Structure 1
């Protein structure tokens, strides 16, 4: 076996190795290395079909690798809470609210969430203030019957962007960064609700609690 054949066998081995991988980023990296080896073999043996095939596959795999690396980076950024949501503006309608104005009450039908652009708002039941750059009203999309789980009141005049749940669902599926941020946000809100929930009253003497 000469060195040209060795390159060909190396490409074959790397191709098999990539097929056995279960995670996408290592798979793409090994696939690119396999394509480079097979492309080199094709050039050295003057096999144009091989050269053409690998010349097409290399940029395709490189692009997919870039997308995966960017996705991992964006998810890490979302996990750290460092996510600008200014790009939500084209998907909603901005409205001005005066101090004391109620945006929605607990138990109301819910059809949109709000992105706070300015001012301050308070979730009355939890005593939590919501400021610029934050999202509120998202739990209504997940609650049974799409009902509001709390009352939102404006405490300082400001502007909030109303985004319909139909658009939120599309953004969730199409933008992995936003999807991860949304899951993190709703989880934090549920934990906040649990922390502020009143403790159950102690059972009367002689009463068994199940």
Structure 2
């Protein structure tokens, strides 16, 4: 199986994080324009993306046999579509989504397979997100015994806005009173 059941669920729950997701409000011309802009920006920032069509064309031309040619044509196209589908489902047209989702889809070996605690962050202001299975899995990342530090970007995830039970758990496990600032990030050591 290429994508595990939890990843399928996560893709389905992404639209709950953003009221502007095309799945929640319908597809609009502005979505197509935003997607095109994101793809063009990614091609400028990551030259390998810009070279992908040419690379695939060369590999198809050099491949021995029609099956190999078809594979070189379809597999990269499928990979790009999977990553773009996640961006479209979120309705968030930022390049970091593309960068973060690649290790996610290819089985990041870390305990927590989420690129960021997005469900916990959105649960601070969208109470319905707290009922999702992906929210509970995100909380599991905070509770994992291997984590030596909790690294937070306060402008993105305000610990004082967490649900009361989550904030209490974070306080029990991490000492944010002795936090180590690092630019926009804060590192709270494990108690």
* Bucket of the pairwise TM-score, normalised by the shorter protein: under 0.3
Report the structure, 1 or 2, having the larger helix content: 2
Report the structure, 1 or 2, having the larger strand content: 1
TM (norm. structure 1) is 0.25
TM (norm. structure 2) is 0.26
